[in-house]
Structure 1
Amino acid sequence: MKRWLAALCLSLSTLSAWAVDDAVFRQHINAFVDQWHADAAKADPVYFDKMAKDGIYIGTDKSEVWTTEQFRVWAKPFFDRKKAWAFTAIKRNVYWSPDQRYAWFDEQLKTQMGVCQASGVIHNTGGKLEIAHYQLSLAVPNPLMDQFTKTIAEFESTQK
C-alpha cells in the first residue's frame, strides 16, 4: 500500500509539474513543433525521436500513411543526403486537453511545395512530448480546385 501511495504521489507531482498556465504551455508546444520542423530541415535523426513509437505520419500523396518506423525508412534517403524538407510555420493554432496530456494543433506552413496545411496530435507523457499523429496536405486555392481535381483524375486514370 505504501508503494502504491508513493507511486501515486510521484505520478501526481509529475503531472502537476507539466500542468502550467495556458500561455506557457502554448509556448512549449509551439517551440517543440518548431524544433521538430527544424530537425527535418537539418536532416537531424532526432526528428524521429520526437515522434511516438506508435505514431502516424500522413503525407500529401494518398499512399503516404506511415507508422513512425515506416516513415523513418521512407525518409532515410533524404536524411542520408543531409537535406530533408524545410517547413516553417506561417501560423499555428494550439489546443489541449484540460490535463495537458494531449495537445492538438493545425498549422499553415511555408514549404518547398508552396503553402501547406497540417494538423497534429502531441502526447505529453509527463516528461516528454511526442508527435502521435501528423497529417500534411497541400493548400489548394478554391479557384484552382476544378483544374487540380481534373489533373489528378487524368493522372490516376493512367495508373491502372
Structure 2
Amino acid sequence: MKKILSTLLAALAMHATQVHAADDVAVVASRVAQFIDEWHDDAAHARLQYFDKMAKDGIYIGTDKTERWSREEFKIWARRFFERPSAWAFKSFNRHINMSEDRQWIWFDEQLQTQMGICQATGVIRQTAQGFEIKHYQLSLTVPNELTDYLSAGVKKLDEKQAEQVPKK
C-alpha cells in the first residue's frame, strides 16, 4: 500500500510540475507577445523607447540587402522617421513564439500588416533580470511564388546596373 501511495504521490507531483511548467511557458509567451506589440507600437508612435527594447549589441536586418545594422547604426538611420508622428506601423496578425527550457532565449516569427503590404519577420529575444531585449530581428517582404521569377529578374537587372556605375580602379 505504501508503494502504491508513494507512486501515486510521485505521479501527482510530476503532473503538477508539468502543468506549472506549461503555465510558465504560456505566461512567458503572453509577456513576450505584449513586449513585441509594445515595440511595434513604439515605432507607430515614434517613441524612442523603441531602440531601448533592443539589446545594446542587437541587430536589425531590414528588407534591403544593405540593411544590417547594430542598434546604434539603426537608430542613426531611423532618426528621420522618428522625427515624424509615426515612424512606421507594423501590426502583427500571425505570430509563433518558442523558447528554451530555461525561458531565457525566445525566438519568434510573425506576419505583419505594414505600409509595404504583408511582411514576415523573425526575431530572437533574451530574457534578462531587467526584462526582455531583442537580440536579432529580420524583416522580409513576402513575395508570392508566382512573382518570384519576375522580381528576381528585376533585382538582378538593378544589381547589374548598379555594378556598372561603380567606378573602376
TM over 0.5: yes
Whether 2:129 is the aligned partner of 1:133: answer no
Q: Which position in structure 1 is the counterpart of 2:52?
A: 49
Q: Which position in structure 2 is the counterpart of 1:15?
A: none
Instruction: Choose the corresponding residue for 1:118, options 121, 141, 164.
Output: 121
Highest relative contact order (Cα 8 Å, sep 6+), 1 or 2? 1
Q: Which position in structure 1 is the counterpart of 2:16?
A: none
Root-mean-square deviation (CA), in Å?
1.2
CA distance in 1, matches of 2:72, 2:81: 15
CA distance in 1, matches of 2:73, 2:52: 14
Residue type matched to 2:69 in 1? W
Say which SS state the counterpart of residue 80 (structure 2) adopts. helix
Q: Which position in structure 2 is the counterpart of 1:30?
A: 33
Q: Which position in structure 1 is the counterpart of 2:73?
A: 70
* 1:116-160: CA deviation from partner (whole Å, max 9, x where unpaired): 000000010123101000000001010110001011111111112
After TM superposition, give the deviation of residue 109 of structure 1 in Å: 0.5
After TM superposition, give the deviation of residue 20 of structure 1 in Å: 6.3
CA distance in 2, matches of 1:156, 1:124: 40
CA distance in 1, matches of 2:142, 2:132: 27
CA distance in 2, matches of 1:35, 1:83: 14
Say which SS state the counterpart of residue 135 (structure 1) adopts. strand
Say which SS state the counterpart of residue 110 (structure 1) adopts. strand
Identity %: 53
Ranges in structure 1 where 5+ consecutive residues have no aligned partner: 1-18
Say which SS state the counterpart of residue 158 (structure 1) adopts. helix
Residue type matched to 2:43 in 1? A
CA distance in 2, matches of 1:128, 1:27: 14
After TM superposition, the score normalised by the length of structure 2 is: 0.82
TM superposition outliers: structure 1 runs of 4+ over 6 Å: none
CA distance in 1, matches of 2:69, 2:126: 18
After TM superposition, the score normalised by the length of structure 1 is: 0.86
After TM superposition, give the deviation of residue 23 of structure 1 in Å: 1.3
CA distance in 1, matches of 2:45, 2:84: 10
CA distance in 2, matches of 1:80, 1:111: 19
If you compute each CA radius of gyration, which structure gives the higher value, 1 or 2? 2
